[in-house]
Amino acid sequence: MKNEVFKHNPFGLEGIKRVSRNLKNNVQVVADVKTGEMFEQTKVTSLTTVVDELSYTKVYHNYATVIKELSVSGLKLFCYILINIGIKKDYIYLHMKPCLEFAGYNEKSKKSFYAALQELINLNILAEAVEPNKYWVNPNLLFNGSRVDLYDENSKFEQ
């Protein structure tokens, strides 16, 4: 069976739409030249932008090659993190039951969860935090938002 071929990308973009919003500018005082009556007028400018409404998480090229090293259970846990990491967060809480459910495993598969977790730690995708079930996510590999917002002027980063 021969696959269909396409001249242009057949997938299109979902969740992209044009949004208009009004920006209030300064208030002006105007006068009616015939009556001398004064009116207050607010100048409104309409701005149209294009926005993406679908959820996304960035995966950075420099570290993405480690993904191919993952085992099946490691890849499933990585996907769970990719989908569930919070916006502008460099950490995630990992509880075994929802992770196993996401991976399609039953509760007898605890070893698979812990092996996957250790694998992500060994590959520097995750680091264990002091708080129970909390793991730091390497923002050089994936991040949900702008990393600039995460690391403000009070944070330590490479200069």
Query: Phi and psi for 38 in degrees, rounded to 5?
Result: -100, 140
Whole-structure pTM value: 0.70
The alpha carbon dihedral of 28, 33, 35, 36 has a sign of: positive
* Residue 39 and residue 106 in one domain: no
pLDDT, one tens digit per residue, over 84-133 is 999 989 999 999 999 999 999 988 889 999 999 999 999 999 999 999 99
Q: Is residue 78 part of a domain?
A: yes
Domain count, the chain: 2
Both 25 and 83 in one domain: the answer is no
User: Domain holding 141: CATH number?
Assistant: 1.10.10
Identify the three-state secondary structure at position 143: strand
| Co-location of 86 and 24 in the same domain | no
pLDDT in tens, 41-84: 777 777 788 777 777 888 988 888 999 999 999 999 999 999 99
Range of the domain at 32: 16-52
Residue 73 lies in a domain: yes
- Interval 125-157: pLDDT, tens: 999 999 999 999 998 899 998 887 766 644 554
pLDDT tens digits, residue range 56-65? 888 988 888 9
Query: Parallel, antiparallel, or unpaired: how do β-strands 126-128 and 134-137 relate?
Result: antiparallel
Is 3 within the bounds of a domain?
no
Q: Is residue 23 part of a domain?
A: yes
Q: How many CA atoms are closer than 13 Å to the CA of 27, on its beta-carbon side?
A: 3
In 3-state terms, what secondary structure has residue 127?
A: strand
